[in-house]
Chains A and B, each alone.
Chain A
Amino acid sequence: MISLAAEAVERGLIEGLLYGSLLGALSVGLTLIWGVMRVVNLAHGHLIVLAAMFLANFYTLYRGHLIAELFNPVAGIVTMGVFGAVIGIVLYYTSIHPIIGKVDVITLKHEMATLMATFGFGLTLYGLHYALAAWTGEYSTEPALSWTFGKPPYVELGPAVTIEKIKFLIGGLSLLLALLLFAVVRLTNLGLMIQAVAQDARALALVGIDPVRIKLLTTIIATVFAMAVGPLYIAWVSSATPASESIVAPLAFVIVVAGGLGSILGTYVAGVILGLVYEVVVSVTQEVSIALFVTFLILLLILALKPQGLFGGLDDRVVSLIRGRGESR
């Protein structure tokens, strides 16, 4: 059933670009907490799905009231971001602080311990959905969100190629989120401290900055950015279950590794490329399983051949471009 028709490829390319933008945004929070702070956050996917499902549930529940607009996919970015700050504090003090909440170098053993602890935290979030559904009766574990944007809600690119306008909105907002995180981490003083704590926490303490506080802030920022993307994710896929995590999280890990650990723009670019590959394969073969097979095969190949990632140096180059040649070395 392979179709190489121009429409199929064209549609695959455009949707892939937009979906890839979303995938990039889904992964930048992970590259911050894992790549920069060395915490392998296995709860990342659960955080995204939590935001997505809360949004869809509350939007449906309060439909017709004014509060519902707090939970539309655009305003929801802010709502869920704020909520993410709270969850970030909980995540830090339950799962990360007991292990690396000291002024110390993070060793491999700590890395594995945080991996297990965040894994437990993620499982808790996973169970939370079912617990809420059982206890309240009004919470759905399979919420759907039907939210359209613009009139007509799609763009006609050709006789057989239509793409929903909301997908363009999602792609654009995803790019903005990724750029925002890049600006926070690479262009502010806080960002400098975040990078410093990963390199040498003791040296940071010597110049009078509390590394533990920076670790807390990093966790909060990473969680905020994970949960802020949840609304965009549900707007794209339009329905989610707690098990959606098992699609989101592996993709995010693939993209972070492909982009180069810790490189925010590199991760975003890797997301765009993977989105393109995925959508073009889906569009051409009409088969989701083969597209996912190809995606994860790419991960294994990158891990085998270039584990340092493809675009690790992108952030530095862009920073020196912005700051001009004078300031960079």
Chain B
Amino acid sequence: MRLFRRPGFITISILLIIYLIIGIMGQYGYASAVLGNAMDTMMYIGWALALAIIMSYAGYVSFGHAVFVGLGAWMTALVVMNIMGTQPFTPTMFVFSLVLAAAASALLAFAVGFVVLRLRGAYFAIATIGLDYVILYLAVYMLRRAGIAPPLLFRNLNLTIQDFYWMHFIVFAITVIVAYLAKVSRFGLGLAAIREDEEAAEVMGVDTFRYKLLAFTLSALLAGMWGAPLAFRQAKFDPYDYFSLLNSVIMIVENTVGGLGSFLGPIIGSYIYYALYWTLLTKIAQASFVVLGPLIVAIIALAPEGLVGWLRRRFPRLRGALE
């Protein structure tokens, strides 16, 4: 059982245990002040790791990854408002939303990836931005046709903050475990080869197109799942908010700051982003991009491997612990 001794496995265990404890405390009325923050950080880590599979592991930046979060939320809205339109909330409703969100996102990513991933370079990035807008305006148009000015507000499901917390926790656990397995498996090795040198990978016998397509689909599936807890928690489907490029920006910033090519990178990047968010964004709102923007430029120019990569280079002895 070599897997259990790997540092990444320990990271996952620590994360899951901490969030489990917070959840149990929340269940008994303690720690209610941090439940919101804990949910936020879980979501940011989840987003970052979902994008990491295609961006950090395989080296293809998806600039419109918010499209899958939005699509997942849309599917959730369909389940809550149309398919199970009158029933009270049951766990089945959440699971159903989750499955539908994941399936729709994976299907869309597969279809788009199938044509676009044959191209190298920026085409993929541009295509995902285009995809984001196609689905956004389709959603807006469908809502308008149904006579609803976005956002679509959910009916009252009588959910508590504890319910939201466990929804986040379930998706978080799935994301972290799947993202880690994708990294350490044979599949992850193939993706790393693609990231470092796609031609060489191809020559060495990596079926690059199939690997990239699978990575994009998996990445979209996880991102799509995050749409469900988000929509339940906010009790609405707001296309302009969920499909916003800002959400994609957050995912990219987390990955870049934390470090590309590692499992720990996106997690650390998420905490850094969240800390910055609390100290900057809540105080000076969008002006905080005056800080975030130069941060990205500086990281790309000075330490393109991100914080974790920089630590690994600077302190070779830590290399074993930083996976």
Contacts and interface: CB of A to CB of B under 8 A. Distances in A.
- Looking at chain A's contact residues, the main secondary structure is helix
A105 interface: no
B293 A125 contact: yes
Interface string B104-120: 00000000100110011
A153 interface: no
Contact of B112 (A94, A126, A254, A300): A300
B304 A123 contact: no
Contacts of A232: none
Interface size band for A: 35 or more
B123 A257 contact: yes
B293 A120 contact: yes
A99 interface: yes
Contacts of B198: 108
A131 B140 CA distance: 31
A236 interface: no
B300 A113 contact: yes
A182 B304 CA distance: 35
A106 B126 CA distance: 19
A246 B245 contact: yes
B235 interface: no
Interface stretch (A144-152, A162-170, A289-297): A289-297
Contacts of A242: 286
Given A287-B141, A296-B134, A117 B301 contact: yes
Given A123-B249, A303-B130, A307-B123, A289 B289 contact: no
A123 B123 contact: no
B97 interface: no
25 contacts: A40-B125, A98-B302, A99-B300, A113-B300, A117-B300, A119-B296, A121-B293, A127-B289, A127-B291, A127-B292, A130-B286, A130-B287, A130-B289, A133-B287, A134-B284, A253-B130, A287-B141, A290-B137, A290-B141, A297-B134, A299-B130, A300-B134, A303-B115, A303-B126, A304-B116
Given A99-B301, A117-B301, A120-B296, 7 more contacts: A40-B121, A120-B295, A120-B300, A121-B293, A250-B130, A287-B141, A287-B144
Q: What are the 6 A-B residue pairs with the smallest beta carbon separation, nearest first?
A: A127-B289, A120-B296, A124-B293, A123-B293, A98-B301, A127-B290
Interface of A: 34, 40, 42, 94-95, 98-99, 108, 111-113, 115-117, 119-131, 133-134, 242, 246, 250, 253-254, 257, 287, 289-290, 292-293, 296-297, 299-300, 303-304, 307
